[in-house]
Amino acid sequence: MPTTVPTSIRVVQGVAAREGVDPIDLEPPLHAVVDTDALDALYRPVGDGSRTPVAVEFSYRGHRIHIDDSGEIDLSADVSAAGSTPSENEN
């Protein structure tokens, strides 16, 4: 059975890749900004493989994180943060 990477880990990996740093070096850690257990639960398939359709958006380290109802993650510059960068799609 294939394992799926939890949504919170994919967010951390995406932000770290965008910033060119090791995920362990991100401060503050994602769990200090958002409830990572709840985030992962929202996008965890249920017994029949389906998911509840939900979209989530939040800011983290100057990035606007948008997770659509399929679990796809989009990182863009947070317009309230200085030094904006173009949008980049992270999976």
32-76: per-residue pLDDT in tens? 999 999 999 998 877 777 777 899 999 999 999 999 998 999 999
Distance in angstroms (rounded) separating the CA atoms of residues 12 and 10 = 5
Alpha-carbon separation of residue 38 from 6, 8, 31, 76, 87 (angstroms): 11, 9, 10, 22, 25
Task: Identify the pLDDT of residue 82.
Answer: 52
Task: Identify the pLDDT of residue 47.
Answer: 77
Task: Identify the pLDDT of residue 81.
Answer: 59
Structure tokens of 29?
A: 């850690």
Instruction: Say yes or no to pLDDT of 91 above 70.
Output: no
Task: Identify the pLDDT of residue 4.
Answer: 85
Q: Which residues pair with 74 in a beta bridge?
A: 66, 89
Per-residue pLDDT band for 88 (boundaries 50, 70, 90) equals: very low
pTM for the model stands at 0.80
